[in-house]
C-alpha cells in the first residue's frame, strides 16, 4: 500500500515570490508520482508527473517538481507565483502494478497581491 | 471534444433516498474511478473499474454501488446505507496501468437534507 503526506495544509505567499509545496510518500514498491491542481468547485487538472528518467520534472504553468528517492519526496516548486495560481494542490502516488491512485490531503495555496 | 462528463453538477436529495450520479467518458479509456472529496480530507477512492463488467472496491465503498456495463459509462449509486453522503464526488478515467495519468470530470456536489 502507498500513502502520501502533504506537510502544509495552507501556504500563503506574496505575488511574484517563489513557492514550494511539500509532498512525502511511502511505498514498498517503486512508484509513479503526480501533482494535480483544483480550482474551486472544479475537477482536478494534471500539473506534472514523474514516471521514470530525469528526477526533475517540468509541468504546466511554470511549475516543476523533483523526485528524491532517498528522501521519498516529490516537492512542487514555482519560482514566481501569480494570483491565478491560487488553488488547491494535490500530490498523488501510484505503486507499480497498482491501479489505485492515492492522494494527499491537499495544500491550499493563497497568492497575496 | 474528448473528456469526462459528470451530471448533474449539483444534486439535492432527501435523507433515505438512493441517488445515482452519472459519469460518461469519450476518451476510449479502459479504467474508470470514483472518488469522494471532503474538506481537508483529500480524495478517497470509492470504486474503480479496470474493464467492462468488472469493478473493485476502494477504501470507502460501504454505502455505494457501481456498474460498468459499457466502456463509456460508470454510474455511482449512493444508497441510503451511506451514513454521511453529503460530499463532492469526482469521476476519473485513465488508459489503464499504473504509469498512466487520470483525467477528471468537473464533479457533482451532492447535498442530502
Closest CA to B24 of B11, B7, B12: B7
Block residue for cell numbers 502520501: A4
Domain ranges, residue A74 = 3-112
Closest-approach residue (CA) in chain B for A5: B42
Query: Can you tell me the mean pLDDT for A72-89?
Result: 97
Asked if A99 and B42 come within 8 Å (Cβ–Cβ), the reply is no
User: pLDDT category, A7, cuts 50, 70, 90?
Assistant: very high
Q: What is the mean pLDDT of each run of 10 residues along chain B (113 residues)?
A: 89 93 96 94 93 94 97 96 93 86 94 92
Contact B96 A99 (CB under 8 A): yes
From B73's Cα to the closest Cα of chain A, the distance in A is: 18
Query: Cα separations (Å) of A81 from A28, A34, A38, A84, A91?
Result: 35, 20, 16, 8, 18
- Residue A35 with chain B: CB contacts under 8 Å: none
Q: What is the CATH number of the domain that holds A14?
A: 2.60.40.10
Is the predicted pLDDT of residue A57 greater than 90, yes or no? yes
Q: How many domains does chain A have?
A: 1
pLDDT at A97: 83
* Residues A91-111: tens digit of each pLDDT: 999 988 888 889 999 999 999
pLDDT at A96 (0 to 100): 86
Amino acid at each position: 500500500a502507498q500513502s502520501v503526506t502533504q506537510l502544509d495544509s495552507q501556504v500563503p505567499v506574496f505575488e511574484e515570490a517563489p513557492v514550494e509545496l511539500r509532498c512525502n510518500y511511502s511505498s514498498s514498491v517503486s512508484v509513479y508520482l503526480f501533482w494535480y491542481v483544483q480550482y474551486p468547485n472544479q475537477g482536478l487538472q494534471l500539473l506534472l508527473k514523474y514516471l521514470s528518467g530525469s528526477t526533475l520534472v517540468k509541468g504546466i504553468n511554470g511549475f516543476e517538481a523533483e523526485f528524491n528517492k532517498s528522501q521519498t519526496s516529490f516537492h512542487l516548486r514555482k519560482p514566481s507565483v501569480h494570483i491565478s495560481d491560487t488553488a488547491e494542490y494535490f500530490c498523488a502516488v501510484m505503486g507499480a502494478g497498482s491501479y489505485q491512485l492515492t492522494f494527499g490531503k491537499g495544500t491550499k495555496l493563497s497568492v497575496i497581491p | 471534444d474528448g473528456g469526462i462528463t459528470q451530471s448533474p453538477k449539483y444534486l439535492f436529495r432527501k435523507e433515505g433516498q438512493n441517488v445515482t450520479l452519472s459519469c460518461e467518458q469519450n476518451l476510449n479509456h479502459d479504467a474508470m474511478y470514483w472518488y469522494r472529496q471532503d474538506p481537508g480530507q483529500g480524495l478517497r477512492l470509492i470504486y474503480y473499474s479496470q474493464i467492462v463488467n468488472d469493478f473493485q472496491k476502494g477504501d470507502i465503498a460501504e454505502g455505494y454501488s457501481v456498474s460498468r456495463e459499457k466502456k463509456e459509462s460508470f454510474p455511482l449509486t449512493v444508497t441510503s446505507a451511506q451514513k454521511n453522503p453529503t460530499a463532492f464526488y469526482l469521476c476519473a478515467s485513465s488508459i489503464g496501468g499504473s504509469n498512466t495519468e487520470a483525467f477528471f470530470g468537473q464533479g457533482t456536489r451532492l447535498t442530502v437534507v
